């Protein structure tokens, strides 16, 4: 009898068995030594919760808003590249699961399913993530397509002007679809469920780009595309220009410093995401949860603060909200569900997060997520606007 799935970790283990190594490693890895990637989770785990008793726990509500939009709980699915390589038609399936749960889905520019693919299979508006590109005409065309598809917010990623060195992707020779090398063929032979799914779809490359961008020399390689198109000369003037062209809700992703947060608030954006790109860019940077309090203190009264990075449980969501985040994005948590079981797996991941969030909130003495603050946390165990004491004794990059 199969063991029931009760945690995100259960889904991760199943996904590792089902997903080809290069795509599993793409989702479940960081850059360089992976110190920041690990810190995203371990810094959450260090925070302790205050248990409260003899309080009314009836009629609880997780309902909130994110970027001005109502959500069933303060959680959104993060933009993740190559989602459709975790499972056939992965972006479509994840979007449908998010729609069913009443939370936002964010489609990556580097998705396998296109903007139009997702729009065709959903009825609620989703969000679209954009990189600042050298080819401004192509970037504007992507925004036009997102508007035509009814996307209700644009998430502009700022922390990938150059690609961090991701050793596992280099070793695996990451391409989309996999190149027919002996190692890949042998690995794929152990993933029959994944292979059957891929045989049943024609969505196997970067469909937001293929047939739309001119002069792209290698559509199979994420690193080739980023080297050709991501703009290392990105400035805050570019952000303002994109805000003006988009004209709607703009969320800036990749803020990890209070000074950058102040610049973001001055840019006219509607919200920011405190994020280190899941530990896949600057190794040795602060974890997202450690960086959060200083950013909330700096700009929390001026702009909505969201966060991502290391969220694997509903307790992590609650801790982030307690430290001032209006909501969180989950990436790997839903990717594990997708790899483990397609749309049903994503639905299970969302269900697990929601259940853990609801029960933990109740045991901390609250009935409404909107009323949760630092009072639910044990003093001395959580990061503050001066994060150094919280991190004292943490391993230096490369030593953990």
Q: Which residue has the tokens 């797996």?
A: 345
Q: Are 68 and 306 in contact (CB under 8 A)?
A: no
- CB 278 within 8 Å of CB 308: yes
- Return d(Cα 376, Cα 55) in angstroms, integer: 14
Answer yes or no: are the C-beta atoms of 46 and 380 closer than 8 Å. no
According to the 3-state scheme, what is the secondary structure of the chain? CCCCCCCHHHHHHHHHHHCCHHHHHHHCCCCCCCHHHHHHHHHHHHCCECCCCCCCCCCCECCEEECCEEECCCEEECCCCCHHHCCCCHHHHHHHHHHHHCCCEEECCCCCCCHHHHHHHCCCCCEEEEECECCHHHHHHHHHHHHHCCCCEEEEECCCCCCCCCHHHHHHCCCCCCCCCHHHHHHHCCCHHHHHHHHCCCCCCCCCCCCCCCCCCCCCCHHHHHHHHECCCCCHHHHHHHHHHHCCCEEEEEECCHHHHHHHHHCCCCEEEECCHHHCCCCCCCCHHHHHHHHHHHHCCCCEEEEECCCCCHHHHHHHHHCCCCEEEECHHHHHHHHHHHHHHHHHHHHHHHHHHHHHHHHCCCCEHHHCCHHHECCCCCCCCCCHHHHCCCCCCCCC
193 is catalytic: no
Catalytic residue among 121, 167, 193, 277: 277
The position carrying tokens 């948590």 is 333
What are the beta bridge partners of residue 127?
Answer: 106, 153
Q: Catalogue the active-site residues.
A: 277
């Amino acid at each position: 009898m199969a063991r029931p799935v009760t945690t995100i970790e259960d889904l991760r283990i199943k996904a590792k068995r089902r997903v080809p190594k290069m795509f599993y490693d793409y989702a479940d890895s960081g850059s360089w030594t992976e110190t920041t990637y690990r810190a995203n989770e371990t810094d959450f785990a260090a925070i302790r919760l205050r248990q409260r008793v003899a309080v009314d726990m009836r009629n609880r509500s997780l309902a909130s808003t994110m970027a001005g939009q109502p959500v069933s709980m303060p959680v959104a699915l993060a933009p993740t590249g190559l989602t459709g390589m975790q499972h056939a038609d992965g972006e479509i399936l994840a979007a449908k699961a998010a729609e069913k749960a009443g939370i936002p889905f964010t489609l990556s520019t580097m998705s396998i399913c296109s903007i139009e693919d997702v729009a065709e299979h959903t009825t609620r508006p989703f969000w679209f993530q954009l990189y600042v590109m050298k080819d401004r005409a192509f970037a504007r065309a992507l925004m036009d397509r997102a508007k035509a598809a009814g996307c209700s917010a644009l998430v502009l990623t700022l922390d990938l002007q150059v690609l961090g060195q991701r050793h596992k992707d280099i070793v695996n020779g990451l391409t989309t679809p996999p190149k027919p090398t002996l190692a890949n063929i042998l690995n794929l032979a152990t993933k029959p469920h994944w292979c059957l799914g891929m045989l049943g779809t024609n969505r196997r490359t970067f469909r937001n780009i293929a047939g739309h961008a001119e002069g792209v020399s290698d559509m199979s390689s994420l690193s080739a595309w980023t080297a050709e198109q991501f703009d290392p000369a990105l400035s805050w003037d570019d952000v303002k220009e994109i805000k003006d062209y988009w004209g709607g809700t703009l969320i800036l992703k990749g803020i990890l410093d209070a000074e950058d947060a102040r610049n973001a608030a001055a840019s006219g954006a509607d919200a920011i995401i405190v994020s280190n790109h899941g530990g896949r860019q600057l190794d040795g940077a602060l974890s997202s949860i450690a960086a959060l309090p200083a950013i909330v203190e700096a700009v929390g009264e001026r702009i909505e603060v969201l966060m991502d990075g290391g969220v694997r449980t509903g307790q992590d969501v609650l801790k982030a909200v307690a430290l001032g985040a209006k909501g969180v994005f989950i990436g790997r948590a839903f990717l594990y569900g997708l790899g483990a079981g397609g749309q049903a797996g994503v639905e299970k991941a969302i269900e697990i997060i929601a259940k853990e969030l609801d029960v933990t909130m109740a045991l901390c003495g609250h009935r409404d997520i909107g009323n949760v603050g630092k009072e639910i946390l044990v003093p001395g165990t959580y990061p503050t606007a001066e994060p150094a004491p919280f991190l004292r004794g943490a391993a230096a990059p490369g030593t953990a």
